[in-house]
Amino acid sequence: MRRNETTFLALDAGKTLPKEEALAQLARRYFTSRGPVTLADFTYWSGLLVSEARAGFEAIKAELVTEVIDGQAYWLSPDMPEPPQRSLYLLPGFDEYVLGYKDRTAVIEAHYLDAICPGGNGVFMSTIVRDGRIIGTWKRTLKPKTVDIVFQPLQPLDAEGLGLLAEAAAEYGAFLGLRATMRTAPLTF
């Protein structure tokens, strides 16, 4: 506090990097934590000018590997772990898995984008991610002894998908120290 005003201080206050080094560091952190991604994704996420984003990218490009998917170059760390073969995650609204990219069609079909961000209003729903793809949304209601979870899949789920949802609900309830109940409901958007 300074007088009656809250003040903030960066952890490395006083440490100033030259612009080129700062751009390279930001690009390195983005590409190695979120890859595979495009230069357009980095530009969108960072809010930098295209020329600044490109300068940061070019400074670290040799540290990355590329994959071409549908004619588009995607960049990632050569140390990026392989994704699990069978996975299901319940992600919160505004998770970087959704927000960190300009083009989200690598993780969700374009015609379902309104389901995770209704009306394009910037408010992102909590998502269900199965094997790297967004397959629905979910909501929770906390009660004194339970957490009630409503899953809204984008498409009908098979028995394995329903089983994975039940496991995820139970794990989430255990994390909260509550008994989890779950149901599926039609998705409206």
CATH of the domain at 64: 1.10.10
- Backbone φ, ψ for residue 89 (5° rounding): -125, 145
Q: State phi, psi for 87 to the nearest 5 degrees.
A: -150, 155
Q: Are 78 and 65 in contact (CB under 8 A)?
A: yes
* Separation between Cα atoms, residue 7 and residue 35, nearest integer Å: 35
Please, which pLDDT band fits residue 3 given cuts at 50, 70 and 90?
Answer: low
Domain of residue 33, residue span: 19-76
148-175 pLDDT, tens digit each: 999 999 999 999 999 999 999 999 999 9
My answer on whether 67 and 111 are in the same domain is: no
Q: Encode pLDDT of 81-130 as tens digits.
A: 877 778 899 999 988 888 877 888 878 888 888 888 887 777 889 999 99
- Mean pLDDT across the chain, nearest whole number? 89
Asked which of 18-22, 51-55, 183-187 is least confident by mean pLDDT, the reply is 183-187
Global confidence as pTM: 0.74
Half-sphere exposure of residue 132, counting CA atoms within 13 Å on the CB side? 9
Q: Is the dihedral of CA 172, 177, 179, 181 positive or negative?
A: negative
Q: Is residue 12 part of a domain?
A: no
As for how many domains the chain has, the answer is 2
- The reply to whether 10 falls in a domain is no
Contact 103, 70 (CB under 8 A): no
In the chain, what percentage of residues exceed pLDDT 90?
61
Report which DSSP code applies to 84: P
Contact 180, 140 (CB under 8 A): no
What mean pLDDT is predicted for residues 135-147?
Answer: 96
Structure tokens at 68: 């071409």
Q: Per the domain annotation, does 14 fall within a domain? A: no
116/37 same-domain check: no
Structure confidence at residue 108 (pLDDT): 86
Same domain, 54 and 97: no
Q: Would you state the pLDDT for residue 83? A: 72
Give the model's pLDDT for residue 8: 66
Q: What is the CATH number of the domain that holds 153?
A: 3.40.630
Say whether both 110 and 155 belong to one domain: yes
Higher-confidence residue of 80 and 169: namely 169
